[in-house]
Amino acid sequence: APAEPLEEKGQVAPYICQRRTPLLHHNTALTDALETMAEEARFCGSDVRSLAFSRAASVLKSLPWRVKRIQQLHTVPCVGEHSQRIIQEMLEDGMSAEVEQVRQSERYRTMKLFTKIFGVGVKIASQWYQRGLRTLADLQLHQIKLNLEQQAGLLHYEDLNTPVELWEAEAISQVVRKAVEQISPGATVTLTGGFRRGKPCGHDVDLLITHPSEGQEMGLLCRVISILDSQGFLLYHSTHRNSLPSLEDEELWVSDHSSTMDHFERCLSIFHLGDLAGSNQGGAGAQKLGASTGSGASSLWKAVRVDLVETPYSQFPFALLGWTGSRNFERDLRRFSKHEKKMTLNSHGLYHLEQKIFLPAASEEEIFQHLGLEYILPEERNA
């Protein structure tokens, strides 16, 4: 790390999207602690508090030096009082009693267990906790009603909580690409999400599908799903059939949800990734070997969460930017657009609220230009 810290010069920008945030940074112990606090706050339904811890963690990730004294943070934005207290504890004792207490608390551990089920959010997990449920077995014991998504989530709990590796993501992209090309030559499949930011593993695979001739993408996702299904690749899928609103529709830009909702046709799925041991066993009916050992290591196949999104070519750069993440980076990009530029940014486009015009873009670089921001590479968006 550079010997001369930047903090005295007050160079740390207030918005995440103005900063470069690499995947590997110098303050991992501190950010892990703050992220635990952010998660705990989220589990309590305190989104504002959660965001505050999350922002503090993000800013520490962007520092090109290791924090050694709390004074170094006095000119760094986004580190609130409570975060400072945690950081100080960590710097002095190498651990924070408050964070450790959270990690060991029954509520936190149970909420973590339940929210790791695909399809279970804080609200439902919290209800189960209130009812006295503590383990996955308790769900069956109490005959808890689960929707199809949650049933699939529980069934594949082990696999879906085993990190997806890059080669697995690439293998799945290739399977989807083959199906897409079979239907519509020229259509493209792009790996986005965490993998595009250079993460070596992730919790799912995010894929964008588009076609260079506008309109050709329509209905593509639906047909791809039916091919993949017939090939035995899908353990679960649920398609959100959205009708793309016209970009001329002001609602899309001025409503409260204008920057968080998106209207693409999308599919949440669980893939059956076969042949992990290089065997030639078939897709659909394959028996899972060694599933009961819990490790999954001896299994010949693996369940993997995949998000598929279909986007018109003209909106592709916005969709790419929106789906590359990280969530913290996206949130601040939209906040910056709104508050600093009077623009609404979402995964469909960029709209100037006062001039009432669209700002089209052929690349992510152009979107950053419209916003007057320096271009930040995907690898630098790991906030």
Site string for ligand GTP, 191-230 (x = CB under 6 A): --xx----x--xxx-x------------------------
Does position 262 bind ligand GTP by CB under 6 A?
A: yes
For the CB of residue 58, give the shortest distance to Mn ion in the complex, in Å: 18
According to CB under 5 A, which residues from 303 to 362 bind Mn ion? 307
Does position 123 bind ligand GTP by CB under 6 A?
A: no
Among 159, 206, 262, 332, the one annotated catalytic: 206
Number of shown-chain residues binding ligand GTP (CB under 6 A): 15
The neighbouring-strand residues paired with 345 are 350
* DSSP state at residue 243: P
Looking at beta carbons only, is 145 or 327 nearer to ligand GTP? 327
Among 138, 229, 275, 307, the one annotated catalytic: 307
Site string for ligand GTP, 319-358 (x = CB under 6 A): ---xx-xxx--x----------------x-----------
Cα–Cα distance for residue pair 320/195, rounded to 1 Å:
13
Please calculate the CA angle 229-211-319 and round it to the nearest 5 degrees.
Answer: 90
Looking at beta carbons only, is 299 or 382 nearer to ligand GTP? 382
Cα–Cα distance for residue pair 333/327, rounded to 1 Å:
10
Looking at beta carbons only, is 63 or 308 nearer to Mn ion? 308
Residue with tokens 């209130």: 130
If contact means CB under 5 to 8 A according to the sort of partner, which of ligand GTP, Mn ion, none does residue 89 touch? none
Token code pair at residue 21: 């945030």
Closest CA relative to residue 69, chosen from 53, 92, 97 = 92
Please calculate the CA angle 152-157-163 and round it to the nearest 5 degrees.
Answer: 120
Closest CA relative to residue 146, chosen from 117, 179, 189 = 117
b/e for 123-158, b at 16 or more Cβ within 10 A? ebbbebbeeebeeeeebeeeeeebeebbebbbbbbb
Based on its alpha-carbon atoms, the radius of gyration of the chain, rounded to whole angstroms, reads 22
For the CB of residue 105, give the shortest distance to Mn ion in the complex, in Å: 28
Query: Does the active-site annotation cover 206?
Result: yes
Does position 193 bind Mn ion by CB under 5 A?
A: yes
Query: Does the active-site annotation cover 32?
Result: no
Token code pair at residue 89: 């504890």
Query: Does the active-site annotation cover 93?
Result: no
Looking at beta carbons only, is 96 or 173 nearer to ligand GTP? 173
For the CB of residue 346, give the shortest distance to ligand GTP in the complex, in Å: 7
Single out the segment in contact with ligand GTP by CB under 6 A; choices: 29-37, 152-160, 317-325, 364-372: 317-325
For the CB of residue 194, give the shortest distance to ligand GTP in the complex, in Å: 3
**Which residues, in sequence order, are CB contacts of 102 under 8 Å at separation 6+?**
36, 37, 40, 108
The set of catalytic residues is 204, 206, 307
Q: Which residues bind ligand GTP (CB under 6 A)?
A: 193-194, 199, 202-204, 206, 262, 322-323, 325-327, 330, 347
